[in-house]
Amino acid sequence: RKEVEQDPGPFNVPEGATVAFNCTYSNSASQSFFWYRQDCRKEPKLLMSVYSSGNEDGRFTAQLNRASQYISLLIRDSKLSDSATYLCVVIKGTYKYIFGTGTRLKVLA
Amino acid sequence: DVKVTQSSRYLVKRTGEKVFLECVQDMDHENMFWYRQDPGLGLRLIYFSYDVKMKEKGDIPEGYSVSREKKERFSLILESASTNQTSMYLCASSPGTEQFFGPGTRLTVL
């Protein structure tokens, strides 16, 4: 079983829709959690950190469920520019970053 | 803005060649990383370094070595390139938790 698992998608949604992705992790000792965004043929960039209390940044909301060992990303009012691959990242210890394989989102006009 | 640069965007090499991939960051970050990214496998850590001259193996170090002689520069070396090392190579630097990635080098080994 992979340490971090994501549904690869693609999720095809119309503009203005709300879409949510989940990411499950297997190691309960995992300490920090992030969502990164990767555009086609580009490098990953940090989208947001994920806190136990949940956090929101504009149209994006990230949540952590430690009991069930998953994190989620909710995107409201999807824009065409949100089309990208969203990578879940889990950190164990100081340097061990574990990336999911990504969930591909396509927002359709 | 943090800037991480990589020496080449595209590289084509032949089997058996020695290959050097260079990465430079301008933000005085302690930590630097080399990953490869392959379809369906995601990013996999090859090596990382948390200080000058310090290095640690990641998940897939076989066939690779690294060098960090200066804080800003982290080099990945393929001692004898093989076709299964054809991949996208991404360098990252980090002051703590957030990682900043370079644009990547797409390496093809023929």
Q: pLDDT for A40-65, tens place per residue?
A: 989 999 999 998 888 999 999 999 99
A86 and B CB contact within 8 Å: no
Give the model's confidence band at B40: pLDDT under 50 very low, under 70 low, under 90 confident, else very high. confident
As a whole number, the mean pLDDT across chain A is 92
Residue range B4-12: average pLDDT?
95
The minimum CA-CA distance between A108 and chain B, rounded to whole Å, is 23
SS3 sequence of chain B: CCCEEECCCEEEECCCCCEEEEEEECCCCCEEEEEEEECCCEEEEEEEEEECCEEEECCCCCCEEEEEEECCEEEEEECCCCHHHCEEEEEEEECCCCCEECCCEEEEEC
Residue range A8-32: average pLDDT?
91
A26-30, B36-40, B93-97: which range is least confident on average? A26-30
B32 and A CB contact within 8 Å: no
* pLDDT greater than 80 at residue A94: no
Residue range B28-57: average pLDDT?
93
Whether the Cβ atoms of residue A3 and residue A96 lie closer than 8 Å to each other: no
Give the model's confidence band at A31: pLDDT under 50 very low, under 70 low, under 90 confident, else very high. confident
The minimum CA-CA distance between A11 and chain B, rounded to whole Å, is 16
> CB B101 to CB A43 under 8 A?
yes
* pLDDT greater than 80 at residue B27: yes
Give the model's confidence band at A4: pLDDT under 50 very low, under 70 low, under 90 confident, else very high. very high
* pLDDT greater than 80 at residue B2: no
* pLDDT greater than 90 at residue A76: yes
The whole-number pLDDT of residue A1 equals: 73
The whole-number pLDDT of residue A25 equals: 93
Among chain B residues, CA nearest to A7: B40
